């Protein structure tokens, strides 16, 4: 069975690649017993969404500055 360190590593990897069946099953088994790791998985989703919103905001600011008339 996975420990919390292995579980969190797999959760991070799952955002970059498809996990194997054995990895997914191991995570589900661990999550069944570990509320902290379930919470961490949800936090990863929140952080990813926030980073995407920030990057989109930064892109809009940059493009607005590109369109501004020179001073």
Residue 57 has a pLDDT of 81
Contacts 24+ apart (CB under 8 A), 33-37: 34/4, 34/7, 36/4, 37/4, 37/7, 37/8, 37/11
Output the pLDDT for position 56. Answer: 87
Domain boundaries, the chain: 4-67
Pure H helices in the chain: 4-14, 21-33, 35-67
Q: What is the average pLDDT across 42-48?
A: 95
Please state the rounded mean pLDDT for residues 28-39: 97
Structure confidence at residue 7 as a pLDDT band (50, 70, 90): very high
Question: pLDDT above 90 covers what percent of the chain?
Answer: 70
């Amino acid at each position: 069975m996975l420990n919390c360190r292995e579980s969190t590593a797999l959760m991070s990897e799952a955002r970059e690649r498809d996990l194997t069946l054995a990895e997914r099953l191991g995570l589900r088994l661990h999550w069944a017993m570990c509320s902290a790791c379930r919470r961490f998985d949800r936090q990863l989703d929140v952080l990813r969404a926030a980073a995407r919103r920030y990057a989109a905001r930064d892109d809009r600011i940059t493009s607005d500055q590109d369109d501004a008339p020179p001073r």
